[in-house]
Structure 1
Amino acid sequence: MNRAAAAAGTIGLVIGLVAGGVGGHLLDDGSNELTAEEKRPTTTVAIERRDLNVTESATGELASSSEQALTTIGSGTITTAAEVGATIDRGGQIARVDDVPTTILFGNQPVWRAFKSSMTDGTDVLQLEMNLRALGFDPKSMTLDDHFDSDTGAAIKAWETSLGVAEPDDVLDAGQVIFAPTALQVTAAVAAGTRLTPGAELATVRPIDGSGLKLIFTVTEEAERYQPGQQVSIVLTDESEHPATITSFERVASTGGQLGGGGQTASFTVTATPDQEAGGLTAGPVSVEIPTDSATGALAVPSRALVAVTEGGQAVRLAQGDRLVAVNVGVFSDGWVEITGDEISEGTMVVVPA
């Protein structure tokens, strides 16, 4: 909403207030006094500084932008397939192969061998031990290092027991774990019954830290209102808001008139990237709140404090002296309106309908 539109909306609002007998107006005879008929219960509020923001809503879609195949170096038959849409965190099962869980652990080094007492030292051992401790499986306070010892084996056995492995031991086969940098969301799955060989795909996944998603929505407004770098908000069904930044927009259609003629409406597809701290977002439909106007640190009053005057324009009634003073109006937001004018300052008390 631009300021001209806001002002036009204000005129309609305050005329309606007067027609309903709320507040007061300058009488035709020049008096500032309210008639007895117009007197209504009132209270006072202070003019205060506020940040006023006007937004419009759109329906958008969070889509995956960095899907990847999740592979295993194990072999066997998928007995329980990955669940599409499921979020797999550290220690979560992505699937079961030969009825043994394949589990996601965190780390950047991929699995390339089994974990057992006869293995040579390596950073993959340290990566495993850090995960076992993070999951609470550290029965003998093992030393976090690159060496597989009896404490490492005991932690593996305790973990396998918790997973329901039929015969838990101190060995972790290479196909039982997959290391990933972050939690994952499953976007596609290989069906149960599929025979796997080393290097085969178990599922298609994307990270859920916000980096694997893009926000797409369509608007029918001027392109200059949606510039790269502009902030918007993703609103979920629980009403939580997550920031995103517009990265691009593209004209997709024009309707309602000849090119360049009046009445034409242009449609634009806008793409935005969720900020990195917006973790936990998942692909699917969302609402989008788009800022359209704002005033920072504006002098503001409740919009019901506005009074239409017969000479035209708007005014507010000052509590001190019970008199009207003319004001210019700016941004409307959440029941408040920006005002400027002579004698308008922070803390000044104005009259509003009770």
Structure 2
Amino acid sequence: MRKVLTLAGGGLLAVAVAWTAVALVSGGGTGAAAPATAPVPATATITRQDLVDTKTVDGSLTYSGERRLSTDASGTVTWVATEGAVVRRGRPLLEVDRKPVVLMYGKLPLYRELRQGIPDGPDVEQLERNLKALGYGDYLTVDDHFSYSTSLVVKKWQDDQGLPETGRVDAAQVVFLPAAARVTEAGAQVGAKTGPGRQVLTVSGVRRLVHVDLDTDDQALARKGAKVSVELPGGERSAGRITSVGTVAKRSGSGQGQDGSTTIDVDITLNRAPKSRLDQAPVEVELDGEPRRDVLAVPVEALLALREGGFGVEVVEGNATRIVVVETGAFGSGLVEVKGDGLSEGMKVGVPAS
């Protein structure tokens, strides 16, 4: 995969040292005109243009909305959906004592038993909407009231599922999730005992996305809605857009002391479905910052590492050269923004021979 140099000191220092010895520069900032220790092998022209700060960061190709599931079912796990399986409305996530725990769609968790006589509520409407979608109760009114008709429809559904025909629904029978779920990890194994509140599955949504743990030093590069380019497994490339930028920093690395870096979560939606079906596959994401308008730019390889620290460029004027101390700015497309005394558009600077 292509590696992009950034404005981190180590990256530019490596470029500078790669083609020239460390330069000696006087404190005046422009350096004294002096013969070069060796002929300048090649030159590049200082240009004035817009420049976009670009950086490539590591990410992972994954699935949206991972969460851990528990149920109120109690007994022995007799079947569980396999990792990677997609479970849709009306299908079981697992079976306990050969009784299914069924997925239904909805934003509200099943926080109470749904039965005739309970106060009206949106959770009742959520259940009725699912029963209707599954083909039960052609004449059932979908509202927030659990009626006698609702209990009859529930009994019919329970009979088809092999559940006790009680006319009541609780969290031992149903799990509500916003949409279809992909099984990421089976926390409960066949033959294991389970009980109320015990984690049984880890699931996610079925939508693919790219996740980046972005160093907080680079958070200016992550703007919600910004376009990005992603290199996927196998060399496949895809355009995408940043859909979520975290607002809480977290410590990565060791997590102890001061060794770990601090990151924020960044999620990216791809413009088209990737060919790879792997979960947590490594990818590279090219982020673009805000454009820098009308700046002086040179190829990044024109930078020289200075003994005193920082960078300079070797200005070529006829047969003479001089070192000019520069302040670097945005980096993009192999160019870097520079500011320095006496620098102007059209000047020539030394670069390593190609």
| TM, length-normalised to structure 1 | 0.49
| TM, length-normalised to structure 2 | 0.49
